[in-house]
Structure 1
């Protein structure tokens, strides 16, 4: 195979794993990772947990040793976002040009701010990067009260972390229970209990309506809540601007790729949060925003760019730590029509999710055997086990 020149846009898990996998699969020529982030690549899961609480340092959440990148002849360009993506080169905001024969887009996603009065105020915080996590921690040290808007995994994890920093935290949950649409009511109630146990106040069926001066929150129930800081945990939006600029196929707001992370244009690949990727085991394309899938997809993109065989056909999954409780989740993630909650004798529990009579997801708390078994059942399109078999 002739020498290639690879440019990877983005320094998250998908970008770093793509560059490294390309090299490890025999890819030759220049390799550049170009990123708008000013910090060297880091792990994102700790940003709402131990890093936010100040229990781990920036060095401890490093994603890759820069010496390893040098040994693999991978060049890291930080703090210089890509402004233009052409057919064979990128141009950064600083005017630097990097030609390529192949390009991997690992542009990730950005936090969404709801289109509501005051939500775009710079003092209203979001959590996505190492710097936003550090800034949130600094603000929490000066705060007595905080409002977290949203009761998804990031919102719940951050709420517990802020509470452990000594802040009185209120979570606005738009549904009757946290994670209702994704996980169902039976899973949402234990999560609500964990938040309560951490001293977090949960306002159910309550949505944000406006923020005034960054410290007065009005809800849809008409309540006016005073606070010292507001954190928006209201979801993310894939960064598809460069993909659109390059004329890549976009579907449902994401870059459409096949199971090998190939886009609609030869020489262009995409991986991670930004993609809608076909999964042959699922038999359909899936949107996934899990850290582990970013690593996996990036590796597949890099290997494919190097001419090696690879495809994404595993069941997506992730772990979430809400205080001292760990949830393990594996699922196709695009819906279910039946959820069955089963308690274990030792305090653990499992929720099995089915659609059209076959398992499409499993959520466990202190039931690791079910988690491992569930991933296999999902991939094989088999029914969830009978009640007596569910907890072991």
Structure 2
């Protein structure tokens, strides 16, 4: 069973021979808050706090979150089954070792359409087995490779393999640049920024700023404007993580302006299914407020939102996760939080079960519930997440 983040914080603190007071000072948090984290009474939800603790302990955020593969977890084991082949395929593409394709162009196009549907539904455990073959078969066709490599980066990041998501995103960028297509260049840059480690938020901001500057010349292309808006959104989250809140709001305002001008996607999905429009910007604002710790405003923004109309599973999940985390934050609404988290799990089961922050939130709810009795639904969710319910 997975430990909560606080247990790993305590482990690393002791290894570094730091007192709670010393670590709290280095991380910029109070000793009381750190004590609650270590005892599993508070989740470490904010990226900025994760980064601060990781830096103070001289470990990576991935180490702190426990994102290494667990062979006893059936979901993680299934997710890892095809990673070795994907890793080799990415290396082959990086060094130019191109194999003969196993599909003809029509077969590849059909496979890419199926791939896109799996990405939209966040069915990553079904998507992952075919990625290595798709990468190899698309290698000689940049218009196909950019789609496959972008999808591979998105899938790998969701499965917890950011180290592989980055080279996949770089391959997508190279393919997009060979096409000289501003919309795809922007989309590939968006994927690359998202693949960067959480602690590299300052780097992510700089990469986003460069991409935004480059995209200004494509203002007449609606698809490019959608990807420009997406880059502003990920720049906003990186800025919030780096605790540059004014910059975060400026990027969000730029994304809102683009979305307001473009409207909701006419086909319901947007460029390559990234759903850029006013509703998606609203969802990103909820995530920004979650990162900034303004849980009351998150709940206000969640009220009455037509979430069931959102066609992208990951965006529906984002809504329910932010709402669930906001409800769980105070410790007074855990029953409602559990309902929201269950809705998030239904939207995209595999990414939910592989999300270390959600494991920590549920672990915290379990710890709080031990004072009374742990509800059967909460116990079942904890077991699916690999969290000990006792």
Q: Which category describes the TM-score, using the shorter chain as reference length?
A: under 0.3
- Pick the structure with more helix per residue: 2
TM-score normalized with structure 1 length: 0.25
TM-score normalized with structure 2 length: 0.25
